[in-house]
Structure 1
Amino acid sequence: MMVWTILLAAGQGTRLSASTGGLAKQFLEWKGAPLYWESARVFARCARMRGLVFVFPEASLETERERVERLMRACPLGLPWKTVAGGSLRQDSVRQGLAALPESCGKVLVHDAARPFASPALVNRVLDGLGERGEEGAAACIPGIPVVDTVKVVDAGVVVSTPDRRRLVAVQTPQGFGLDRLRAAHERAEREGWVVTDDAALLELCGERVRVVDGEPGNIKITTPEDLPMLRDTVRKTPCVGYGYDVHKYADGKEAKQPARPMRLGGVAIPDAPEVLAHSDGDVLLHALMDALLGCTGGGDIGTFFPDSDPAFDNVSSVVLLDTVLDELRKTGIVLSHVDMTIIAQIPKIGPYRETIRKNVARLLGLEPGAVNVKATTEEGLGFTGERLGIKAVAVVTGMRGES
């Protein structure tokens, strides 16, 4: 089923207003854009995502729609998107977002725009828990982290009870839902007059099964003035460089050591091109890119992470594998800044697809298109590429590593 995300950016941010000059937290500038844009970039890097709905305050809906249009022109996310006005309560805003989803949408993620630190790996974990890959899933899947402090239930300043914290988790977003079930829960909430602080609570009230997966300690919500320093870049950084190289043989119908796959480059299908022999989907460009990214981390190569002897990676999308590598990059604190890639092949002609490949790789990496370069060349008829026996690619990436 198609997956869309509702990005909630309609709150008033009253607890922060004195520290921000009255500006709601989701509109604070960070990395040259409003805070909500960082979350949009994260979701755009997830291969299974098919669209975004931005929910803004009604008073600023037109202003923010125009701003999203400008941001999309400057750094296209490669996803369809819509904007809608929110309501006075969080659940009103979600309900407005649900009404804007297309008929083709079957599953939906709901995310607070004030959580800019969520990762694509977390998004994929929630989707997996929801059953997006075919296994029987739950009505909802939410990320949570263990509660480390003792929690007291208090009434009128007096402790009533102490819950067992081993059974408690602090809940985060994005939260994932089967669309029909979430809509039904919101309709019942309107009839019953329920007011809740997250959508999972509505599913619980309806008696639905809600699954919990591991959240991320760094997935913090900007809520109070004490949280604002997290948006300041005070870490000293040093540059790092990674190099990647990969080769795939063209299928000739004579050998079957590996399956023949339709050619994809940078996640883009290349029609009328030779098929390639590969255990995965055979995207030689993304394979070289992943090796370069792992070069930055000192983490080995893609064979270490995704061995071709493992049936789990049979015909797996290289875009999905890239998400895993990018999560490794994030764990090391490296911020990617530039990518330069070269495709070497006698056939097919890369020129007609070069710009599409460049934009798609930029989207997958969360970079502006100007930070990604794609080149193509032949070897003048020399070597195995010149003899039209295969294709190869090289990639060089640069980034900045934070120092503690």
Structure 2
Amino acid sequence: MSASGEVWAVLLAAGSGTRLANAVGGVKKQFLSWKGFPLFWHSALTFSKTPAVTGIIFVFPPDQVDEMKEVVADLDGTDSLGMPFKVTAGGKRRQDSVFNGLNELPSGCSHVLVHDSARPFASAAMMSSIVDMMRNGRDAVIPAVEVTDTIKEVDGDIVKKTLVRSSLKAVQTPQGFSLPVLYAAHEQAEKEGWDVTDDASMVEMAGKNVHICSGEEGNVKITNPEDLKRIEEDSRILPCVGWGYDVHKYGAGRPMVLGGVPIPGGPEIIAHSDGDVLLHALADAVLGLFGGGDIGHHFPDTSAECENMSSGIILKEVLVKAEDAGIEIVHVDMTIIAQIPKLSPHRELIRKNVASLMGLDKNQVNVKATTEEKLGFTGEKKGIKAVAAVTGLRKYS
């Protein structure tokens, strides 16, 4: 593979998908919505996250090309691919659609990944491995997985032969090719009247070696109505961590409150709300679990409604946002940094109150207090700081 040649993807979304379309009110499978986007766009996003891929050719049904140009432009405006793309019309057969896509590739393209949009679960890692093999001199690379069922060759309802499973593979997409090799195979297929089900078959018939790389069990194709359950049920639970930080000056203002607990004899706090530095850091950490911004965005200090607002209310509201985002909070670790006052007498009560506010067991909450050895802002008794780390589990579906 030329070091200077570009790798483009041809994303096929031109099929009729009759079996599935009939089951879902006539909607073609590539246009079914999943996680807020049509199926084909998920594959496009994965290509955009594959460093070696330069651009994408979208291939749609001929009667929908103008419409889909606008759809793709809108989708790119919402969740940008960050790469060039083109939209073109498909043909009667899959191989015709691929050939139309190849004819749209720029002159700088040397290799191509051909992918079925009905396989929305293919990973960027697998795509990268295909490109790596092409960089090592392979002209055709396809992903494949082991066949786990016994396969029979039949004639009608009569078994003719049991195939040797160890020599069989189930093939997936994307399939990677040297562009000159694939283009020549398509020209030969057109000339000699071949009718194939995938590009690898065409390249094999043209006398070229096709190499196998590891496919993915999860890289399934949405073909039948039953396959829709994979979309509906597909979910992953992954850990997430949020980190929060807040600081307040000492001075005439609000009585000191930490974790919702009043601190008798503590310095007053200059603040717009109640000045609970610990709950502010904690609320920011909760927002960090799901990319929710910061409390300054949700509760601005210019808002009259936030004047002297209880930080417990702030925390409760961000906890609702976290729940809506599919977050289950499992652990909280907080540190208060202050030279004064002495906080050890209040630590357990703070811990218990924070656990209650968050609906957690006390063992899921940790509170620490430390000084900065009389150094800096807190060491000079000018104010107080707090940091918080929150661990959660997020369901992605």
Deviation at 1:397, TM superposition (A): 11
CA distance in 2, matches of 1:39, 1:163: 33
Shift in alpha-carbon separation, 1:53–1:238, aligned structure 2, 3 A? closer
User: Helix, strand or coil: the match of 1:153?
Assistant: strand
Task: State yes or no: 1:107 paired with 2:60.
Answer: no
Change (3 A) 1:397 1:98: farther
- Judged with a 3 Å threshold, the aligned counterparts in structure 2 of structure 1 residues 167 and 33 are, in CA distance, closer, same or farther, namely same
Q: Which amino acid aligns with 2:23?
A: S
TM-score (norm 1): 0.60
Equivalent residue of 2:19, what SS? coil
Q: How large is the RMSD of aligned CA atoms in angstroms?
A: 2.6
Q: 1:44 — aligned with what?
A: 48
Contact 1:3 1:50 (C-alpha < 8 Å) held by counterparts: yes
Higher relative contact order (CA 8 A, sep 6+): 1
SS at match of 1:15: helix
Q: Spell out the pairing of 1:130-209 with structure 2 (5 A cutoff).
A: 130-131=134-135, 135=136, 137-209=137-209
Cα distance change on mapping 1:156 and 1:190 into 2, 3 Å? same
Identity across matched positions, percent: 50
Residue 338 (structure 1) shift: 3.3
State the distance in 1 between where 2:174 and 2:390 align.
Answer: 29
2:130 to 83, 105, 126: 126
How far did 1:25 drift? Answer: 0.1
The yes-or-no answer on 1:76 pairing with 2:80 is yes
Distance 1:18 1:159, change over 3 A: same
Q: Residue type matched to 2:88 in 1?
A: V
Question: CA separation in 2, counterparts of 1:397 and 1:188?
Answer: 60
Q: Check 1:31–1:402 CA distance in 2 against 1; reply closer, same or farther (3 A cut).
A: closer
Contact 1:52 1:82 in 2 (8 A): yes
- Relative to 1, partners in 2 of residues 1:242 and 1:197: Cα closer, same or farther, differing over 3 Å? farther
Q: In the alignment, is the contact (CA less than 8 A) between 1:337 and 1:400 conserved in 2?
A: no
CA contact (8 A) 1:337 1:398 kept: no
1:15 aligns with 2:19: yes
- Report if aligned partners of 1:2, 1:107 keep a CA contact under 8 Å in 2: yes
Structure-to-structure mapping, 1:1-400, within 5 angstroms: 1-131=5-135, 135=136, 137-233=137-233, 235=235, 237=237, 240-241=240-241, 338=291
Amino acid at match of 2:223: T
Gap runs ≥5 in structure 1: 244-335, 341-395
How many residues were matched structurally?
255
Cα pair distance change 1:226/1:60, threshold 3 Å: same
SS of equivalent residue, structure 2 residue 106 = coil
Give me the whole-angstrom Cα distance separating, in 1, the residues matched to 2:45 and 2:292: 17
Superposed CA offset, 1:86-139 (max 9, x none):
0110000000000000000000000000000000001011111222xxx3x222
Question: Deviations along 1:193-235, whole A, 9 cap, x unmatched?
Answer: 0011000001100110111000000000000000001111575
Q: Distance in 2 between matches of 1:201 and 1:236?
A: 35
- Report the alpha carbon displacement of residue 398 of structure 1 after superposing the two structures with TM: 9.0
Larger Cα Rg: Structure 1 or Structure 2? 2
Deviation at 1:402, TM superposition (A): 4.2
TM-score (norm. length: structure 2): 0.61
Distance 1:238 1:185, change over 3 A: closer
- Is there any run of 5+ residues in structure 2 with no aligned partner, and where? 244-288, 294-388
Deviating beyond 6 angstroms after TM superposition, the runs of 4 or more aligned structure 1 residues are: 396-399
Shift of residue 156, structure 1, vs aligned partner: 2.3
Structure-1 separation of matches of 2:175 and 2:290: 30
Residue aligned with 2:191, SS = helix
Distance 1:68 1:141, change over 3 A: same
**1:239: Cα distance to partner?**
6.1
Q: Which amino acid aligns with 2:162?
A: T
2-side partners of 1:75 and 1:155: how far apart?
A: 49
Instruction: Tell me, yes or no, if the aligned pair for 1:338 and 1:398 is still in contact at 8 Å.
Output: no
